[in-house]
């Protein structure tokens, strides 16, 4: 087979068309039902989506638990302060001290 | 314009379909390893994510334990405060201002933070009984 090379066209094709051709090959192979690798990749993709959802859920739980933890620490500090004040007041009125 | 001579066989009407199949098979044969690489990259990514999930899950469990402990502490301190308020009421009513009761109350106040939940519940009930006797419900 003889190939007729047109310099102007060849220059453009070499730079622009090779990635496009490779993309097309990938796209066609990915969509081919007989191409078993596609199914395997899809399975891994599904697992990846699933684990990402779980990670997101666990991260949300950590965030919530941190908020609750900080809230509880503030409440405990407040209770400690109030209890100390009441205890001090009672002991003082009973003529004792801490 | 240049004419390049190649060793590619000429395509005619008879062999064109077979040529297409051969070309497709050749492409897929060459592309297959690339997809295998892609699959391996995704599997590696999945393993990394799975390890991350396990690490986060451990953190969640640790946070859960920590929260349970803090909540118990919070409930206990609520009881301590409630008991102190009742003792304060008894003192203001003049019920524990004399003799042995006064000494017992002072001791109770000094050890109140070290009392376990059962003891706190006992004293809460006891103080409530004393207050109820003073202000009986009609």
Residue B128 within a domain = yes
pLDDT per 10-residue tile (average), chain B, 138 residues: 73 70 76 79 94 96 96 96 94 81 89 92 92 74
- The tokens for B87 are 């003792």
**Which B positions 4-43 lie with beta carbon below 8 A of chain A?**
4-6, 8-11, 27-28, 31-32, 34-36, 38-39, 42-43
Instruction: Tell me: ipTM over 0.90.
Output: no
Give domain limits for chain A. 7-93
pLDDT at A66: 95
Structural domain that includes position B89: 16-134
> In this structure, how many other beta carbons lie within 10 angstroms of the beta carbon of residue A47?
15
Q: A7-55, pLDDT tens digit by residue?
A: 655 555 556 666 777 777 767 666 666 567 777 888 889 999 999 999 9
Q: What would the pLDDT profile of B33-68 be if each residue is shown by its tens digit?
A: 777 788 889 999 999 999 999 999 999 999 999 999
Cα B37–B40–B44 angle (5° rounding)? 140
> What one-character DSSP code corresponds to residue A98?
-
Say if B123 falls within a structural domain.
yes
Nearest-by-Cβ selection for A37 from B36, B66, B71: B36
Question: Does residue B46 lie within any of the structural domains?
Answer: yes
Assigned domain for B7 exists: no
Q: Quick one: which of A76, A77, A95, A80 has its CA closest to B84?
A: A80
What's the rounded Cα separation, in Å, for the pair A84 and A74? 15
Q: What is the DSSP string of A36-61?
A: HHHHHHHHHHHHHHHHHHHHHHHHHH
Q: Supply the pLDDT for residue B138.
A: 57
Number of domains into which chain B is organized: 1
CB burial string B18-56: b at 16+ within 10 A, e below = eeeeeeeeeebeebeeebeebbeebbeebeebeebbeeb
Q: What global pTM score does this model have?
A: 0.68
């Amino acid at each position: 087979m003889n190939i007729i090379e047109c310099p102007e066209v060849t220059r453009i094709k070499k730079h622009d068309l090779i990635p496009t051709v490779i993309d097309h090959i990938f796209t066609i192979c990915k969509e081919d039902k007989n191409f078993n690798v596609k199914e395997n990749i899809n399975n891994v993709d599904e697992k990846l989506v699933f684990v990402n959802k779980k990670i997101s859920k666990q991260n949300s739980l950590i965030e919530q638990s941190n908020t609750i933890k900080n809230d509880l620490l503030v409440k405990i500090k407040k209770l400690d302060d109030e209890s100390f004040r009441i205890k001090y007041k009672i002991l003082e009125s009973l003529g004792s001290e801490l | 314009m240049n004419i390049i001579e190649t060793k590619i066989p000429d395509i005619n009407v008879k062999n064109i379909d077979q040529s297409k199949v051969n070309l497709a098979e050749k492409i897929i044969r060459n592309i297959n390893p690339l997809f295998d690489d892609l699959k391996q990259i995704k599997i590696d990514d999945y393993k990394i994510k799975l390890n991350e999930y396990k690490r986060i899950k451990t953190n969640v469990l640790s946070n859960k334990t920590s929260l349970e402990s803090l909540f118990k502490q919070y409930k206990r301190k609520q009881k301590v405060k409630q008991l102190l308020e009742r003792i304060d009421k008894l003192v203001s009513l003049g019920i524990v201002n004399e003799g042995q009761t006064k000494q017992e109350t002072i001791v109770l106040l000094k050890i109140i933070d070290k009392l376990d939940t059962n003891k706190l519940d006992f004293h809460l009930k006891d103080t409530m009984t004393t207050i109820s006797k003073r202000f009986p419900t009609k």
